[in-house]
């Protein structure tokens, strides 16, 4: 079975086309991100929406620039950008500088055009010259792009650019209210062990206004799972109990009747974030320290023996969190 190579894939059992490095849902997500980038770029204005404020200058105080500096960087093809042969934007200590949409999208689109357009047809099919043409070129070639060795770098830049453009426009994503605990993948046959990984995506609220009617309100996670109000309350309670439990690693080890030295160490150079946990749960196979089945969740504990991975199946994770949160 061919697996998706994207570290952020949330559908490990999804269909992967022949020779593709991404599953169909990941390709669809790239298509949606490119469409959202095109939409949000059309909303960007080089002028501030609010009245300029007074700021300190070399000659005293004066009005700040009326320009929207972030929008200028995003729209200016001369702005440098990180990745794919481009240099750093902004100060050297800026870990996530703004990318230039023309540099990122135009650069990738030109690379696609050069690889897919024969020399004999280049006079009839010119290279993409505008952002709209660049996006169209990438959208049409996405199945081909998904088969290239550089597709993960491309996907990372598109994802980063989509988040940056959305933030500058003022359409930043809502703050997460819980973490999704649904299991991902097809359900096993009756009687078989259910070792599917837990989704783990952030759950956010959404609201859809309707003319003359009460708005629709709900909650969903980044993996596409939806939740009712009562389910959301239950998720929030579970998250609070989980945070409380993980802040007392000694109590967890006592309940599991194991020593910290028996757990897998977390490498010193590993930053424990959602990506690292996703990699351990989805891409690697580890056993639950309590029952021996395949682990479906992973936690990084700060113990006296250093940082250690705590691998658990979904059932034992729920048991442990519930037991640790009791007085």
pLDDT at position 49, please? 52
Residue pLDDT, tens place only, 127-164: 998 888 999 999 999 999 999 999 999 998 998 888 88
> What average pLDDT score do residues 229-255 get?
81
> How many percent of the chain have pLDDT more than 90?
21
Which of the given ranges, 10-14, 55-59, 234-238, 305-309, has the highest pLDDT on average? 305-309
Q: Where are the domains of the chain?
A: 24-169, 178-324
Where do the DSSP E strands lie in the chain?
54-57, 60-63, 178-179, 202-210, 213-221, 226-227, 297-303, 306-312
Whether 230 contacts 176, CB under 8 Å: no
Reported as a single tens digit per residue, the pLDDT across 25-71 is 889 889 988 988 888 888 776 655 544 454 445 554 455 555 566 67
- Worst-scoring range by mean pLDDT, 89-93, 274-278, 305-309? 89-93
Between 177 and 280, residue with greater pLDDT: 280
pTM beyond 0.85: the answer is: no
Across the range 60-83, mean pLDDT stands at 61
Strand ordering across the sheet containing 178-179: 178-179, 202-210, 213-221, 226-227
Give the whole-number percent of the chain exceeding pLDDT 70.
78
pLDDT at 310 over 50: yes
Residue 146 exposure: Cα atoms within 13 Å on the Cβ side: 25
In the predicted model, is pLDDT for residue 294 greater than 90?
no
Per-residue pLDDT, averaged over 178-201, amounts to: 76
Nearest to 169 by CA among 306, 39, 18: 39
């Amino acid at each position: 079975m061919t697996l998706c190579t994207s570290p952020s894939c949330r559908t490990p059992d999804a269909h992967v086309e022949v020779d593709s490095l991404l599953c169909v849902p990941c390709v669809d997500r790239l298509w949606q991100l490119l469409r959202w980038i095109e939409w949000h770029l059309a909303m960007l204005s080089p002028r501030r929406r609010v009245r300029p404020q007074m700021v300190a200058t070399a000659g005293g105080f004066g009005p700040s620039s009326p320009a929207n500096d972030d929008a200028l960087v995003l729209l200016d093809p001369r702005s440098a950008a990180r990745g794919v042969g481009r240099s750093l934007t902004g100060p050297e200590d800026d870990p996530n500088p703004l990318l230039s949409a023309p540099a990122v999208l135009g650069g990738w689109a030109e690379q696609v055009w050069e690889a897919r357009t024969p020399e004999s047809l280049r006079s009839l099919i010119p290279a993409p010259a505008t952002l709209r043409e660049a996006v169209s070129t990438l959208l049409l070639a996405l199945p081909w792009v998904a088969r290239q060795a550089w597709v993960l770098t491309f996907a990372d830049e598109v994802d980063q650019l989509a988040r940056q453009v959305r933030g500058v426009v003022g359409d930043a994503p809502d703050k997460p209210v819980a973490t999704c605990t649904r299991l991902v993948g097809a359900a096993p046959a009756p009687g078989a062990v259910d070792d599917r990984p837990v989704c783990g995506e952030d759950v956010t609220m959404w609201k859809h206004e309707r003319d003359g009617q009460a708005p629709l309100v709900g909650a969903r996670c980044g993996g596409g799972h939806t939740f009712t109000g009562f389910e959301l309350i239950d998720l929030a309670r579970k998250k609070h109990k989980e945070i409380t439990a993980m802040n007392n690693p000694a109590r967890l080890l006592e309940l599991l009747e194991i020593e910290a030295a028996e757990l897998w160490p977390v490498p010193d150079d590993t930053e424990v974030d959602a990506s690292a946990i996703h990699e351990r749960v989805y891409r690697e196979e580890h056993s639950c320290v309590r029952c021996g089945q395949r682990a479906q969740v992973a936690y990084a504990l700060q113990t006296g023996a250093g940082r250690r991975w705590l691998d658990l199946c979904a059932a034992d994770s729920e048991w442990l969190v519930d037991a640790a949160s009791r007085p």
